Amino acid sequence: MLWNTLLLALRAIRRNLMRSFLTILGIVIGVAAVITMVTLGNGATKSVSDQISSMGSNLVMLIPGQRFGAGSSGAPNFKLADVESIRNQVSVAEAVAPVANKATTAVYMAENWSTVVSGSNNDYFKAGNWELAAGRTFTEAEERAGKAVCVIGDTVRTKLFGGQNPVGSEIRIKQFACEVVGLLKAKGQSAMGSDQDDTVVMPLRTVQRRLTGSQDINRLTVSVREGASIDAVKDQLTLLLRERRNIGETEEDDFRVLDTRQLAETLTGTTRILTMLLGAVAAVSLLVGGIGIMNIMLVSVTERTREIGIRLAIGALEREVLLQFLIEAVVLSSLGGLIGIALATGASIALSSLMGIPYLFDAGINLLSFFFSAAIGVIFGYFPARRAAGLNPIDALRHE
Amino acid sequence: MTDATALIRLSGITKTYGQGQAAFLALKGVDLAIEPGEFVAIMGPSGSGKSTVMNILGCLDTPSSGTYVFEGVHVEQLTRDQRALLRRNYLGFVFQGYNLLARTTALENVELPLIYRGEPAAARHAAARAALEQVGLGGWEDHTPAELSGGQQQRVAIARSIVTRPAVLLADEPTGNLDTRTSQEIMDLITALNRDRGITVLMVTHEPDMAAYAKRTIRFVDGRVESDQLNGGAA
């Protein structure tokens, strides 16, 4: 019975090609939209968390003020002495990099480029996982004397020097000339979407004297020795800084201690919300596809009712007719679902490579949208038929 | 009419449509016996109940009361599925409106009852081809109803009804949509099936010319059998 009914169902699909096509199309569009959106969203989330973890899982950042963004609450910036005391008192701190930033313009020959100059020390390169493509980092003498030397990122090199090797050349920052001693290897976009290679690094003292004109440090980056507990280090740093900043027992911290995991959570949380939003929008298209299917099925109910009457009259059992319609609905919906999944996979791979995010196959969303679309197809393909198959054959035959 | 050899016996069949005030009594107690091999024309004006009795005979509809015995089986006591099996194995239908599946070839239309019978593909194709041959449609197997004339569509319907070698052929105004010449061809075909293969034929018609092909005419008026007479073998 099953085999014969399968044959009947396939014949019915073949002779109603337009209807079958539209049913499949509704499902294909819905399924493809949902899967593509969610897959791209997942890829974006993964990309963000990847970039954060590429910063190293052993990083702790210290930022003045309680809110995100340096000095936003008027809390005092860090001082160079803080760096020294961290070095001395937190034994598991491998590298302690103070950072003072200043946005400015770098000029070489006729080219100029707006960028951010970061003043720091050689620990900056260690903590930030930076590698040199050419040249060297700072010497101790250069750091101590605040010499006008810099290490530049790949973007700055490209903008100012084109493909040339910049090491040994002098660029002009504000009013002073600065020798390029090193070139950093390209890192690409940061988790926040900014270009990490758009950077110029100078000794801290150089920036403080010539650019910011103050002793302030905007941020401290501490990398922790492997195997050490991040939480213990954070507690240690918090205690130390509270003491150094004269914060009373009852007072709140006026600085934040963040590790990369927290940073990752904050940022991936944002992209996850965006993914859900996109998924919801796409789910609407799945629903609209479902309504399209419902429409097609209901329009063809008269013809199908007569067809059911004919089948019953020549001796089909009610359950045989129902099984045929069920198979028909399942075959069409599954086919639509599978085509949708194939299309979504292709689109996701293409779009994620275009957007520079990783492609992640999400079995859950594939299964979910597949079964949802199958359910729509089955409900709207099967239930009108069930009503018709329950009629007296003569009533089904005479259906207007 | 109490012959024990009767193929079909209706006694006291009534059929009511609707309920309460709006109830309409389409059959008011019909008694009828049909022997194997008969060719019976059922006539009567519109609303006389001739189509209703035909649908009950064909198990397409159920009577409100009375008994219907088919080859010793009380049809009114059968379940829905048992009635379907009775249609499948003993009855063939020809309708005024042909009732073929649209966009489906003649061969597949004729095969359909055999698929429900579970016949293997090879036997099914052979039987369907033979049936089409028999109704004079050899070579038209791959045509869909839209590509066939009314007469040809009715021939396909007849081929579909006889492909299962039924005991009874029920024809409800089989020539109602056809011109005179084509009607005669169809009637010749039905007559030949009755004569050569011994299929019992019950045919509803309101055309005396068509009824004349039958051996017996039952006339309905107002939900009752008004007359029942032998034709003396016309045509």
- The dihedral region occupied by A379, where left means phi > 0, alpha psi between -120 and 50, and beta the remainder, is alpha
User: Do the chains contact at B115 and A4, CB–CB below 8 Å?
Assistant: yes
**Cα dihedral B154, B158, B163, B164 in deg (nearest 10):** 130
Residues from chain B that touch A313, judged by Cβ atoms under 8 A, are: 58, 60, 87, 93, 99
- Name the residue in chain A with its Cα closest to that of B101: A307
> Tell me, what's the pLDDT at B71?
93
pLDDT tens string A266-315: 777 888 888 888 888 888 888 888 887 778 777 777 788 899 999 999 99
Residues from chain A that touch B170, judged by Cβ atoms under 8 A, are: none
> Tell me, what's the pLDDT at A379?
83
Both tokens assigned to A15:
């002779």
Nearest to B101 among A1, A4, A310 (CB): A310
Residues from chain A that touch B103, judged by Cβ atoms under 8 A, are: 15-16
- Say if residues A164 and A111 touch (Cβ distance below 8 Å): no
Helix and strand numbers (H, E) in chain A are 13, 10
CA distance A95 to A100: 16
Nearest to B31 by CA among B5, B62, B65: B65
Nearest to A313 among B80, B87, B108 (CB): B87
- Name the residue in chain B with its Cα closest to that of A6: B115
Residues from chain A that touch B60, judged by Cβ atoms under 8 A, are: 312-313, 392-394, 397
What is the C-alpha radius of gyration for chain A, rounded to an integer number of angstroms? 33
The separation between CA A110 and the C-alpha centre of its own chain, rounded to angstroms, equals 38
Q: Which residues pair with A398 in a beta bridge?
A: none
Nearest to A315 among B101, B102, B113 (CB): B113
- Ranges assigned E (strand) in chain B: 8-17, 24-34, 39-43, 65-70, 73-74, 91-94, 168-172, 200-204, 216-221, 224-230
Say what the pTM is.
0.71
Nearest to B115 by CA among A3, A315, A4, A321: A4
Nearest to B116 among A307, A315, A397 (CB): A315
Nearest to B47 by CA among B230, B228, B194, B220: B220
List of residues 6+ apart from B108 with CB closer than 8 A: A11, B101
Interface test with A, best of B17, B101, B161 (most A CBs within 10 A): B101
B interface residues, A as partner, C-beta within 8 Å: 55, 58-62, 80-81, 84-85, 87-89, 91, 93, 95, 99-104, 108, 112-113, 115-118, 160-161, 164
* A241-250, A349-358, B197-206: which is most confident: B197-206
Nearest to A314 among B55, B113, B118 (CB): B113
Interface test with B, best of A20, A324, A394, A397 (most B CBs within 10 A): A394
The DSSP line for A213-269 is -S--BSEEEEEE-TTS-HHHHHHHHHHHHHHHTT--TTSPPSEEEEEHHHHHHHHHH
Residues from chain A that touch B91, judged by Cβ atoms under 8 A, are: 315
**φ/ψ of residue B8, rounded to 5:** -130, 135
Instruction: Determine the distance in angstroms separating the CA of A398 from the nearest CA of chain B, rounded to an integer.
Output: 10
A interface residues, B as partner, C-beta within 8 Å: 1, 4, 7-8, 11, 15-16, 303, 306-307, 309-320, 392-394, 397
Instruction: Determine the distance in angstroms separating the CA of A297 from the nearest CA of chain B, rounded to an integer.
Output: 17
User: Do the chains contact at A397 and B118, CB–CB below 8 Å?
Assistant: no
**φ/ψ of residue B186, rounded to 5:** -65, -45
- Say if residues A80 and A217 touch (Cβ distance below 8 Å): yes
User: Do the chains contact at A316 and B89, CB–CB below 8 Å?
Assistant: no
- Overall average pLDDT of the A219-244 stretch: 87
- Name the residue in chain A with its Cα closest to that of B81: A317
Strand order in the sheet with B39-43: B91-94, B168-172, B200-204, B39-43, B216-221, B224-230
Question: Which ranges of chain B have pLDDT less than 70?
Answer: 1-4, 232-235
Instruction: Determine the distance in angstroms separating the CA of A1 from the nearest CA of chain B, rounded to an integer.
Output: 7
Classify strands B200-204 and B39-43 as parallel, antiparallel or unpaired.
parallel
pLDDT tens string A216-225: 888 898 988 8
Per residue in B77-86, is it b (16+ CB within 10 Å) or e — as a string? Answer: ebeeeebbbb
The architecture that CATH gives domain B8-230 is 3-Layer(aba) Sandwich (3.40)
- Say if residues A253 and A247 touch (Cβ distance below 8 Å): yes
Q: Is B203 helix (H, G, I), strand (E, B) or coil?
A: strand
List of residues 6+ apart from B95 with CB closer than 8 A: A397, B157, B172, B173, B174
pLDDT tens string A165-214: 999 999 999 889 999 999 999 887 766 667 888 999 999 999 999 998 88
The DSSP line for A268-325 is HHHHHHHHHHHHHHHHHHHHHHHHHHHHHHHHTHHHHHHHHHHHHHTT--HHHHHHHH
List of residues 6+ apart from A179 with CB closer than 8 A: A148, A149, A150, A168, A169, A170
Per residue in B122-139, is it b (16+ CB within 10 Å) or e — as a string? Answer: eebbebbbebbebbebee
- Name the residue in chain A with its Cα closest to that of B166: A314
> Tell me, what's the pLDDT at A73?
55
- Name the residue in chain A with its Cα closest to that of B144: A15
Residues from chain A that touch B95, judged by Cβ atoms under 8 A, are: 397
CA distance A206 to A98: 13
Q: Which residues pair with A60 in a beta bridge?
A: A222, A259
State chain A's maximal CA–CA distance in angstroms. Answer: 103
User: Do the chains contact at A316 and B60, CB–CB below 8 Å?
Assistant: no
Instruction: Determine the distance in angstroms separating the CA of A19 from the nearest CA of chain B, rounded to an integer.
Output: 13
Strand order in the sheet with B24-34: B24-34, B8-17, B65-70, B73-74
pLDDT tens string A72-87: 456 788 888 888 899 8
- Say if residues B159 and B135 touch (Cβ distance below 8 Å): yes
- Name the residue in chain A with its Cα closest to that of B116: A316
> Tell me, what's the pLDDT at B234?
44
> Any idea where the domains of chain A sit in the sequence?
2-51+265-397, 76-253
- Say if residues A160 and A108 touch (Cβ distance below 8 Å): yes
Residues from chain A that touch B153, judged by Cβ atoms under 8 A, are: none
Both tokens assigned to B55:
């649908």
Say whether pLDDT at A24 is over 90: no
Interface test with A, best of B60, B62, B79, B162 (most A CBs within 10 A): B60
Say whether pLDDT at A57 is over 80: no
Nearest to B84 among A303, A316, A394 (CB): A316
- Say if residues A35 and A365 touch (Cβ distance below 8 Å): yes
Q: What percent of chain A has pLDDT over 90?
A: 27
